[in-house]
Structure 1
Amino acid sequence: MSKVSIPKYSLSEELINAISHGLGVGLGIVVLVLTICFSAAHHNVIGVVSSCIYGSTMIIMYLISCLYHALSPKLKAKKVFRVLDHCDIYAFIAGCYTPYSLCLIGGIKGWVIFGIIWACAIIGILLNAINLEKYQVISNIMYLGMGWMIIISFNSIRKEILLPGLVLLVLGGIVYTIGAILYGLGANKKYLHCIFHFFVLGGSILHFLSILLYVL
């Protein structure tokens, strides 16, 4: 962990970072409860399982991020949480894919997509756990690559989902991508990382609406 560097943010920046993703924890709880209840009401077992995976990965990602930014840079635990913070992004991306692959696409193709995306997530988590700094560029590429891997199954999704659900899915991807660009610039410009956090929240809300209203 001694090799893990901590970006320097002001106290006000870290306060905003922690609060914004603290709100994300609340969002994740709402997502978990509503998606499970909606799936259960429709007697959709796969939907319930997918909702548990999707909602729990969202809660964990936002919780780890919130705690990471809330911790003092003087604490060694902050380095641990920085690694966990980056690892959880992979899990959340795969968690978002789960309802689309298992509930919307379904069948063998859906399970193949599910397997591929989770395999990528596990590989990414292992790379970050081994050496976060060494594989940071690879991780950033993998985040975006996994996020837009949905293009491979775009035709299948387009046939199964109503247009508003598809629009929400694509808009969410665009918002996340803009956020990723801001993240890349955020180390050098004050409050840009804070803005990145709100773009992540925006992308999460758009995908949640797509999943709840048009997938489950």
Structure 2
Amino acid sequence: MVGGMQDEHETDTLPHVPFTEEAATSTPEPRPAWRGWIHLGAFPFAVAMGIVLIALSDSTAAKVGSAVFMATSLAMFGVSATYHRFPWGPTVKAVLKRIDHTNILLLIAGTYTPIAICALPHTLMVVVLWVMWSGAALGIAFRVLWIGAPRWLYVPIYLVLGCAALGLLPQFFEASVPMTVLILSGGVAYIVGALVYGFKRPNPIPTQFGFHEVFHALTVVAFGAQWVGVLIVALDPVR
């Protein structure tokens, strides 16, 4: 359930000074012409969709959950667009890279928040929220402290957190079949995007629209599907 990870040279060594240790070694690489534009274009739509979602949510709890979903989606699209669109200096780039990567984890937890609030009994809701936000916090600590971790190590973190609540599919289907189908469809799009990012394939037009742009496009599709799913359950929460 997911963001805007930037592809660049990665090392396998643990950093000693968080946020700035890459400033001296990070070298800029050519960016496709579309780099950052997809998430920049998605941002105003995410603002409007978030406002609509909160306004239409049926209860105070649903509105709170929808607001969390909106905030994390805006953080992901906004920071990703800012990071990828402009040629930042090494220090700022190192900081934005960390924020960009951690926002993916925040969006995963943020997407589960209104779903758990609106679709699950109280006890299960509390468990899911604790698991999701604790997992996001641990993942964020990992990415901040080891931003140069190899892809094969950190991409699975996003996948594991995104799939952590699959054991509750019967409860989600009981709450709303359309909601669950849409959330799963968005999750599949996120997973495909993560695989594209991890394997750097397909890479259709490297100078214009490369694998990273395919990844970003899939995150927008995934967000749209899951937004509709959240709207469905927020309009008619089970609690």
TM-score (norm 1): 0.89
Structure 1's unaligned 5+ residue stretches are none
Alignment-derived partner of residue 55 in structure 1 = 70
Q: Residue 214 of structure 2 aligns with which residue? A: 195
Q: Structure 1: which 4+ aligned runs deviate by more than 4 Å?
A: 4-9
Q: Which runs of 5+ in 2 are unaligned?
A: 1-19
Higher relative contact order (CA 8 A, sep 6+): 2
Please say if 1:19 is aligned against 2:33.
no
Q: Say whether 1:66 aligns with 2:85.
A: no
- Is residue 54–residue 98 contact of structure 1 (8 Å, CA) maintained in 2? yes
One-letter amino acid matched to 2:138 = I
Per-residue deviation, 1:76: 2.3
Report the Cα distance in structure 2 between the residues aligned to 1:213 and 1:159, rounded to whole angstroms. Answer: 13
Q: Separation in 2 of the partners of 1:145 and 1:26?
A: 29
> Which position in structure 2 is the counterpart of 1:166?
180
Q: Which one of the candidate residues 126, 129, 133 is aligned to 2:148?
A: 133
Distance change in 2, residues 1:102/1:96 (3 Å): same
**Structure 1, 72-81 or 114-123: larger mean CA deviation:** 72-81
Instruction: Provide closer, same or farther for how the CA distance between residues 125 and 99 of structure 1 changes in structure 2, counting only shifts above 3 A.
Output: same
Is it true that 1:177 corresponds to 2:191 in the alignment? yes
Equivalent residues, number = 210
Q: Which residue of 2 aligns with 1:107?
A: 122
Alignment TM-score, normalising by the size of structure 2:
0.81
Which of the pair is proportionally richer in helix?
Answer: 1
Alpha carbons 1:24, 1:59 under 8 Å: kept? no
Q: Aligned pair in 2 of structure 1 residues 101, 7: CA closer, same or farther (>3 Å)?
A: farther
SS of 2:181's partner is helix
Query: Whole-Å Cα distance in 2 between the matches of residues 95 and 114 of structure 1?
Result: 9
- Give the SS at the match of 2:34: helix
Separation in 1, partners of 2:193, 2:153: 17
The residue aligned with 1:10 is 30
Cα displacement (A) at 1:74: 3.9
Q: 1:18 to 1:6 in 2, by over 3 A?
A: farther
